[in-house]
Structure 1
């Protein structure tokens, strides 16, 4: 580069009132010129005093820029001054490289295939609780109390398994509300149920092991198994839950089984007691671990609550997982897993390596929330609200499509499934509904096999009565072809 070209490159005016300081602008100008190959290896910069005069900045500014360029390895200094170091240059086809198709792991491609982009709070979206009815005042009081009494102690890392106070309160709640048999030592606090699933796969399986999932079933469980390089085996679900006969065990013996026995997701089926006991017995015989996801069983609307499968047999082959995303709010990102007692000692060292014990103020506040009774009162209020919203949704569907409209679920949770005839494309219908402000799930997206039922998973937890009516009306227009 000639001296004239060098001066033209370096001496272009700097913005005196720009967002960046003069020092930052000059540094970026020289750095980008080097990366773009305009300042080649060996090119000498003017002396700092000369450069400062020509650019119109103080010499200290130039000295600071050169010092930073030297620190990052762009410049070398000797007795004759500073010169550009030798380094690899970005290729001429850099733009083409950025825009070209990036080779991804097949696991990532599978995860992308069912992804839909939409607002997290759109009406009819399943799995979202009523955020407007969350008791913010009580939650704020619990957080303030925690931060008032022990703010500094909670700023560092905590117990990797979770705050002791929360594990104690949670063990008591699970015993009373869900029939779970455990001690606080068996509970591991996680960042949501998805982390619990990922941990189960990482700790209890090897690549190539078989994992059973419900068909149709929760996509997050399949994602966790895919990331663990497991071979996923879909197992059919009927009105009594997972259908796992002896021949299935003999042909495709699993290392892990993921199931939602108390409220199957998404169909709403309840696994019968004989099925549960048979599954537990077979799991013990084949040294298989069952992941029981009890994601929304706190919201049951008819009869007494159905106890968790984990409490039916001791010692148990069940890892019981749950979260507070459905009962409180998703952004809390607090979940848990109840490990079988026989796994705690061998897995504790690995858990200490994988977990860091964060969200300590929130964990302490949640413990207070549980012990004060605020959590139970909130659940009672939400049961009444969701029962009412489900009735509204059911009545709107029956009024629009007839009393014999095919619906699945309804005894529990925050969604109903509307079955559709085979000629309908539920994926395309969901895309159309998203454009109108509604985000139900496509039932076919919960299947792995070739046989897929068409339908819509209609969430009502965070959907008001007016939104329910508008959503059903829009659905009717789509089905009529309007």
Structure 2
């Protein structure tokens, strides 16, 4: 068989001829154009035919022999016998077969509300004030971490996370959040999503039931669904998660995902009686409560409600925290606080399931906390966010009058503005997006039969001087 077509035009620009020859030979072998057991010309002969150097042919032959596409023996070089699926003749007229699709779990996740752009628009929920970040203090901590770094910080992080960060975080949670924990109970994660994924895989089995709040944190539904759990939406009322007798009877949970200190997105706070009742029923059912305390640091006034984790000794609660809102999302660091009874085996299993990194950032964050920068930053941001929320409330009340009903201001970085039933919150959110606003439709966080109609308005990145203009655009979107 003549092989002069191997280097026929068109020739790709800047591609070495030895690479091009290798690729065209490989393609011809895999497509069946060069059948199994076919003898190829000797390297000198093929080089002369193609008008190239012999070394070019030797390179291509050697690479294909190493990959198993060619076989070198005493008689020369021949095409290997490849499996029929690899060496099948091409069918130009046939429609190419599509590769296997995504899993059913992934397809279900894609049906959720599509993610918004990463751009921080006015009213985008969950976005902190990047302009107020203490760059100088953080940069100094990063530089010290690099200066003192050894080979351990360049490899995978220690099981559970950097010891200095776990120790600093335990002291912070004990002093600020009232959780009597030690470093051995803390597992550093790659953010909230990574923490939820570990809880789903290490505290539950495929097919187990997990309760999530409805309306609730969309990414939690996705994380649990991708882990193969059966997600059950449980209603939320003015006191937070409100499971019914039917929920307990018909779908007893293995995991219960809750945001009791500031329900996301409605901002409701779970009452103490309901917290205690939830703990008792969870014990009776053999269920774990995954407590997401995502923004307790930004309390508007007074102390934060007691965490479920610290209400009772050895409560079946795993506490989830993050630095995405208190510092910045790109840091991708969060943590789990585990009961002592499971902390050791959980951390060991987590180390087998994933390999943690960011050793430099973890060491810098420990330094940042130990030097008091974190506490100072939180105190300054609480005051700033409180002022910002008050200004936003005033502007909303002035623009909408008695039509506006707000909730969720006790903590966090967002308010919920409830809308009359005749106004479609999703249509308003779409119009707001066209006006450069990041407001989210409250109904997008809910699943039937829950009914809610409003807008989730983040104010973390909303400059005080821009509040009036943003509210004016929001009024235009609502009034349209």
Aligned-residue offset at 1:246: 5.5
Aligned counterparts, 1:34-433, within 5 A: 34-87=29-82, 88-89=86-87, 92=91, 96-97=95-96, 103-123=101-121, 124-244=123-243, 248-433=247-432
Is 1:441 paired with 2:436?
A: no
Moved more, 324-333 or 353-362: 353-362
Aligned-residue offset at 1:282: 2.2
What is the CA–CA distance in structure 2 between the aligned matches of 1:317 and 1:117, rounded to whole Å? 32
SS of equivalent residue, structure 1 residue 217: coil
Contact 1:11–1:55 under 8 Å retained in 2: no
- Gaps of at least 5 residues in structure 2 are none
- Cα distance change on mapping 1:436 and 1:84 into 2, 3 Å: farther
What is the CA–CA distance in structure 2 between the aligned matches of 1:239 and 1:138, rounded to whole Å? 40
- Cα distance change on mapping 1:148 and 1:245 into 2, 3 Å: same
Q: How many residues align?
A: 475
- Cα distance change on mapping 1:252 and 1:19 into 2, 3 Å: same
Is 1:10 paired with 2:16?
A: no
Moved more, 35-44 or 279-288: 35-44
Contact 1:161–1:355 under 8 Å retained in 2: no
What is the CA–CA distance in structure 1 between the aligned matches of 2:116 and 2:245, rounded to whole Å? 42
Deviations 1:415-449 (A, max 9, x none): 11122233444334434443443333221121222
- Cα distance change on mapping 1:43 and 1:452 into 2, 3 Å: farther
- Gaps of at least 5 residues in structure 1 are none
TM-score, normalised on structure 2?
A: 0.90
Deviations 1:244-298 (A, max 9, x none): 3556434433221111111110000111111112212222233221111000110
Moved more, 359-368 or 247-256: 247-256
SS of equivalent residue, structure 1 residue 265: coil
Aligned-residue offset at 1:148: 1.1
SS of equivalent residue, structure 1 residue 86: coil
What is the CA–CA distance in structure 1 between the aligned matches of 2:223 and 2:413, rounded to whole Å? 24
What is the CA–CA distance in structure 1 between the aligned matches of 2:43 and 2:469, rounded to whole Å? 69
Is 1:28 paired with 2:20?
A: no
Stretches of 4+ aligned residues off by more than 6 angstroms: none
What is the CA–CA distance in structure 1 between the aligned matches of 2:93 and 2:69, rounded to whole Å? 20
- Cα distance change on mapping 1:242 and 1:442 into 2, 3 Å: same
How large is the Cα RMSD of the aligned pairs? 2.6
TM-score, normalised on structure 1?
A: 0.90
Contact 1:23–1:65 under 8 Å retained in 2: yes
Moved more, 300-309 or 138-147: 300-309
Deviations 1:316-364 (A, max 9, x none): 2111111111111111111111111111244344233223342111111
Contact 1:162–1:357 under 8 Å retained in 2: yes
- Cα distance change on mapping 1:229 and 1:13 into 2, 3 Å: closer
